[in-house]
Amino acid sequence: MGAFFYLSNFYGVQAQNNMIDLHTHTNASDGELSPEALLARAIDNGVSQLAITDHDTIAGYLSVRNQPVAQQLQLISGVEISTTWRGIGIHVVGLGFDVAHDAITACLQQQTQARAERATMILAKLAKANMPISLAEVEQLTQGRQIGRPHIAAVMVAKGYVNNSNQAFKKYLGAGKIGDIKSGWVTLAAAVEAITASGGVAVIAHPDHYQMTRTKLMALFDEFKADGGQAIEVISGRQPRSITEKYAHIAREKGFYASLGSDFHRPLSYGCEVGKLSALPSDLMPVWALFAGN
């Protein structure tokens, strides 16, 4: 895969002086870096506009937003909410909302509780499969922060139940496996409502990850729009040009604003680096037009 492949399969990269990344994680959820370290990395990479979108928590964002380092770029409030739509897990990113608003606060409280309850249920399933793990062992890792399957996977690796996190997902925690427990999440409509009522923009995260038929995907977009959803991630991490074109087309057709984000969790040689994204096709309505000046 040489330079030619890269050039022909991806849009040009974002301009060095205007790099935007609206989907990133910190160790407030399942990211590896502290919020401070993520900010420093983003600034180092030349990012001018950043959203920290941890899973169902804004604790990471809150811990850095008033620090001097956060004044070196435009930091937008963000979160990635796990929702259920027709029995499918759909992730909705919220951007530019009022973090003190009751609607988003109540939603994230409910999600945090759902995560804690789900963790207990997953551990019960694992214990039945001869892989006992206590909640305390997981909490030693999360230290009061948002619990996710990656934390449980890490304990499974540490206890020698699996060789690595990927294997933990593949055999036990991923879609259709014993640890794939779909209960407790807010509905898609409720998440959109909580975000928009709080003055934010709701965005369908990584639309190409759901393995849905085209008909179902279109139904998702239509319902999301009817619920008040305004944007979709046209670019999620490093993706082939054909995928960008697919979602750009849908954004135009359905009148969605376009968002983009790395979904950065940790530095990886093969992963997507904070801010290092292709540029959005220039005719799309960028989602940041909606919260400029915030």
Question: How far from 119 is each of 44, 63, 96, 142, 255, CA to CA, in Å?
Answer: 36, 25, 29, 12, 38
Task: With contacts defined by CB under 5 A, name the span among 1-9, 26-34, 191-199, 266-274 that binds Mn ion.
Answer: 26-34
Restricted to residues 250-269, the positions that interact with ligand AMP (CB under 6 A) are 265
Task: With contacts defined by CB under 6 A, name the span among 44-52, 71-79, 145-153, 220-228 that binds ligand AMP.
Answer: 145-153
- Phi/psi region, residue 19 (left: phi>0; alpha: psi -120 to 50; beta: rest), is beta
Residue 130: HSE in the Cβ half-sphere, 13 Å Cα cutoff: 3
Closer residue to ligand AMP in complex, CB, 150/207? 150
Q: How far is the CB of 212 from Mn ion (least distance, A)?
A: 15
Contact 251, 284 (CB under 8 A): yes
**What token pair was written down for 56?**
């169902």
Q: How far is the CB of 149 from Mn ion (least distance, A)?
A: 8
Helix ranges (H only) for 21-158 are 35-44, 59-64, 102-128, 135-142, 149-158
Q: Which of 21, 227, 233, 263 binds Mn ion (CB under 5 A)?
A: 263
Closer residue to Mn ion in complex, CB, 128/170? 170
**What token pair was written down for 45?**
């990479």
Closer residue to Mn ion in complex, CB, 86/266? 266
Determine if 206 is a binding residue for ligand AMP (CB under 6 A): no
> Interface residues with Mn ion (CB under 5 A)?
30, 80, 91, 205, 263
